[in-house]
Amino acid sequence: MVFKTLSSKARAAVLAALLLLPAASLAQVDPVEPDESIAEDLVLDELTPEIDAAPSVMAEPADDGARALTKEDVDTWLDGMMPYALEEGGIVGAVVTVVKDGEILTSRGFGYSDLESRASVDGYDTMFRPGSVSKLFTWTAVMQLWEQGKIDLDEDVNTYLDFEIPEAFDAPITMRHLMTHTAGFQEKIKNLILSDPDQLLSLEELMKTETPPSRIFPPGTTPAYSNYGTALAGYIVQRVSGESFEEYVQNHIFDPLGMDHSTFVQPLPEEYEDQMSSGYQNARDGKAQYYELVPMGPAGSLASTGEDMGRFMIAYLNGGGPLMKPETTRIMQETIDQHVPPLNAMALGFLQYTRGDLRAVGHAGDTIFFHSDLALYLDKNVGIYSSVNSSGSGAGTLRFELATRFGERYFPEARVEEEPRLDTAKEHGAEVVGIYESSRAQVTTFVALTRFMGQSKGTMNKDGDLVVGRSTWREIEPYVWRKEGGVERLSVVMTEDGKVERLAQEPFSTVITSLPAPWYRSTALLTPLIMGAVGVLLLTLVMWPVRAVVRWRYKGSFALSGQEAMSHRLVRVGVILVLVQLFFWLFVLQTMQSNLTELNAAFDAKVRIAQVMQVFLYLGLGLALWNVATVWRSGQSWFAKLWSALLPLAIAVLIWFSAIAGLLSFSLAY
């Protein structure tokens, strides 16, 4: 899907950060990890078969019920699972914290926080980067101010800003839209993650100097995960409270909970440096990476220990105390914004994590190097938090697998028995087969290319099961499918005339839906056309010197002269220019995909050069059309006439592709 042509390291870097998002499968981060299913493209990689087979990891609960949730049993289970999982996944270190009945049941460290010094991870003292789990603190701050009557969840957010979000769709954006990722913003990746502190802007500077991303959906209609939306909410907290966002969280969340080893401040304050785990691409290269700087801090800049995250979970399992009233907490956890029933959806800031009949909410998060997950089992007064400090070869999937197996081990409600396939499977499957694209996308700049590359194809096997990427789905209810061998579900919303309006897959049904790709930008049509067009242009260039060599070898002469000869040569120069423009875009995109920290003002120069070079497309098309007129007026062969007509068609296809991929845009607001 989105980055399936990239190495796993590049995919992890691009998508994990592209979204600072829960990456369990870009499946969807392929993770953003999306066939790779829509949910699978946001994952890093599947767990290795060896991990799946490890008896201590996958042992089924006893027939007579779940195991008792005790410190001893959890520790034994983790000891059997985590060291082996880290070894097989190329992960340097991890932390897992479990809370129960208002206390930290266990907080365990595994592996190393620093390979060079061989410093072990301490479950209580080592700080990790929870990525988008940070968003829960932002939404906590919002609801505290709502409780005080200082923020109205349904008021136009422009009411609280000192700059303006442009009007669109004749409908304002509200805080409720921001909390449910339905503001309609397109994706924004510029200044998403930095490595140089000198390039870091304050939240106020960033929000005032960066152009707000365009809105591509009417507010409230379509989930489309947005880091910008969360940063905007954090800036509103800052303006309404009169404190910087970092100070507000410190004074009103960290201090009341005794979270003494947590901070949103960037760069990392010196007092925490000895506690901070290094981040790694993988354990095999063993190279410690830079401290990631997240300019949109409210969306993902937190650094915290397992113990502190345990305190945060306990507060929410305790009705929000001492952070907010129980009623406020209930509203956050139970106000569900459902767009593709009956799948898990967004609560107010929390993602629904219900598995089987086990009710849960939480949030996951990724930076480039850290991958985390937090789940609260609301009816059990239990929570689990995990984080790893390396991407490795399966970190994104591991934290989700950990929470799933934890639930199945201790709570019978989480187990899902295999359901029979419905008789309507083939009929309904045929309606769903097609090409889909993610609602989380950028559409007005060159990054729109990732929307095209990330399209997923839904097919149906002989049994009537849907096949999306690497996953097979069996229909268990009308228009609801269960993932084979898993607990996740897929569902669609149908229009009145029997067409698919939208499709979603768990676990990312909460923040991303998939929409049928229109014919004019469908990979089913464009991919063969693009391949054919590039083939025509490349063959034209290859045959140019080949024919010259043949003439030289057999002492032949060039048959054309005058305008025909000039047209013959110039159209090939035009072909070269067209291919140079496209290959320069490939260079720009490879730079973007290999290192997200370069996506700042310095990167704009490369983008601007590529944008200016689009003139080569029009010049090449003009030369090709002139060549057609020249060839067809001459007495050249039918093959020469046919080939001359293919050249402008090939260039026109590439212009068409460039338009839908955003390569014709002059915007730098990517």
- pLDDT single digits (tens) 211-233: 889 999 999 999 999 999 999 99
Q: Are 600 and 194 in contact (CB under 8 A)?
A: yes
* Whether residue 158 has pLDDT greater than 80: yes
Distance CA 186, CA 253 (A): 30
> Average pLDDT for residues 158-167, to the nearest whole number?
95
At 38, list the tokens: 């829509």
> Average pLDDT for residues 40-47, to the nearest whole number?
26
Residue 309 carries which DSSP code?
H
Element (H, E) at 481: strand 480-483
> Average pLDDT for residues 276-291, to the nearest whole number?
94
Distance CA 585, CA 406 (A): 45
pLDDT category at 46 given cuts 50, 70, 90 is: very low
Q: Are 252 and 157 in contact (CB under 8 A)?
A: no
Distance CA 233, CA 165 (A): 13
Q: What is the pLDDT of residue 378?
A: 95
Q: Are 175 and 153 in contact (CB under 8 A)?
A: yes
Q: Are strands 127-128 and 303-305 parallel, antiparallel or unpaired?
A: antiparallel
Highest mean pLDDT pick, 11-20, 396-405, 518-527: 518-527
Q: Are 292 and 279 in contact (CB under 8 A)?
A: yes
Q: Are 616 and 581 in contact (CB under 8 A)?
A: yes
> Average pLDDT for residues 482-486, to the nearest whole number?
91
Distance CA 246, CA 652 (A): 51
Q: Are 433 and 461 in contact (CB under 8 A)?
A: no
Element (H, E) at 589: helix 562-594
Q: Are 620 and 651 in contact (CB under 8 A)?
A: yes
The sign one gets for the Cα dihedral 549, 552, 556, 560 is: positive
Q: What are the beta bridge partners of residue 346?
A: 337, 351
Q: Cis omega before residue 267 (within 30°)?
A: yes
> Average pLDDT for residues 526-544, to the nearest whole number?
96
Element (H, E) at 234: helix 227-241
> Average pLDDT for residues 573-587, to the nearest whole number?
94
pLDDT category at 595 given cuts 50, 70, 90 is: confident
Q: Are strands 351-352 and 360-366 parallel, antiparallel or unpaired?
A: antiparallel
Q: Are strands 93-100 and 103-114 parallel, antiparallel or unpaired?
A: antiparallel
**668 closest CA partner among 183, 244, 253, 189:** 189
Only one residue has tokens 């305190």, namely 311
Longest Cα–Cα distance of the chain, Å, equals 92
> Average pLDDT for residues 514-531, to the nearest whole number?
96
Q: What is the pLDDT of residue 16?
A: 37
Length of the chain: 670
Q: Are 172 and 156 in contact (CB under 8 A)?
A: yes
Distance CA 582, CA 534 (A): 10
Query: Considering just the CA atoms, what is the radius of gyration of the chain in Å?
Result: 27
As to burial, measured by CB atoms within 10 angstroms (0-12 exposed, 13-18 middle, 19+ buried), residue 568 is buried
> Average pLDDT for residues 324-347, to the nearest whole number?
97
Q: What is the pLDDT of residue 21?
A: 37
> Average pLDDT for residues 264-283, to the nearest whole number?
96
Q: What is the pLDDT of residue 58?
A: 37
* Whether residue 497 has pLDDT greater than 80: yes
CB atoms within 10 A of CB 195: 16
Only one residue has tokens 């993610």, namely 438
At 391, list the tokens: 């991407």
SS3 label, residue 628: helix
As to burial, measured by CB atoms within 10 angstroms (0-12 exposed, 13-18 middle, 19+ buried), residue 618 is middle
pLDDT-wise least confident of 69-78, 194-203, 368-377, 527-536: 194-203
Distance CA 527, CA 609 (A): 26
**504 closest CA partner among 439, 460, 457:** 439
SS3 label, residue 305: strand
Instruction: Give the strand order in the sheet containing 303-305.
Output: 127-128, 303-305, 262-263
Distance CA 532, CA 528 (A): 6
Q: What is the pLDDT of residue 35?
A: 31
* Whether residue 298 has pLDDT greater than 60: yes
Distance CA 651, CA 533 (A): 7
> Average pLDDT for residues 108-127, to the nearest whole number?
97
pLDDT category at 555 given cuts 50, 70, 90 is: confident
Q: What is the pLDDT of residue 74?
A: 98
Q: Helices 523-553 and 562-594: crossing angle, nearest 10°?
A: 130
- How far is CA 357 from each of CA 354, 360, 410, 506, 509, rounded to the nearest angstrom? 7, 9, 13, 15, 17
- How far is CA 543 from each of CA 522, 538, 547, 551, rounded to the nearest angstrom? 31, 9, 6, 12
Distance CA 456, CA 466 (A): 12
Element (H, E) at 100: strand 93-100
Distance CA 306, CA 300 (A): 17
As to burial, measured by CB atoms within 10 angstroms (0-12 exposed, 13-18 middle, 19+ buried), residue 150 is middle
SS3 label, residue 509: helix
Q: Which domains does the chain have, with CATH numbers?
A: 107-414 (3.40.710.10), 425-518 (no CATH), 521-660 (no CATH)
* Whether residue 641 has pLDDT greater than 50: yes
Distance CA 346, CA 626 (A): 56
SS3 label, residue 373: strand
Q: What is the pLDDT of residue 635?
A: 83
**384 closest CA partner among 276, 305, 488, 306:** 306
Q: What is the pLDDT of residue 1?
A: 30
What is the percent of the chain where pLDDT is above 70?
90
Region for 154 from its dihedrals, namely left if φ exceeds 0, alpha if ψ lies in -120 to 50, beta otherwise: alpha
Residue 483: φ, ψ to 5°: -65, 130
Q: Are 503 and 340 in contact (CB under 8 A)?
A: yes
Residue 597 carries which DSSP code?
G
Q: What is the pLDDT of residue 191?
A: 84
Q: What are the beta bridge partners of residue 293?
A: 194
* Whether residue 173 has pLDDT greater than 90: yes
> Average pLDDT for residues 653-665, to the nearest whole number?
95
SS3 label, residue 494: strand
Q: Are 453 and 657 in contact (CB under 8 A)?
A: no
Q: H helices within 6-116, ranges in order?
A: 8-11, 17-19, 49-53, 55-58, 71-89
Q: What is the pLDDT of residue 33?
A: 32
Q: Are 25 and 38 in contact (CB under 8 A)?
A: no
Residue 519 carries which DSSP code?
G
Q: Are 300 and 137 in contact (CB under 8 A)?
A: no
When the pLDDT of each residue in the chain is averaged and rounded to a whole number, the result is 89
Q: Are 409 and 77 in contact (CB under 8 A)?
A: yes
Only one residue has tokens 């697998």, namely 401
pLDDT-wise least confident of 14-28, 86-100, 552-566: 14-28
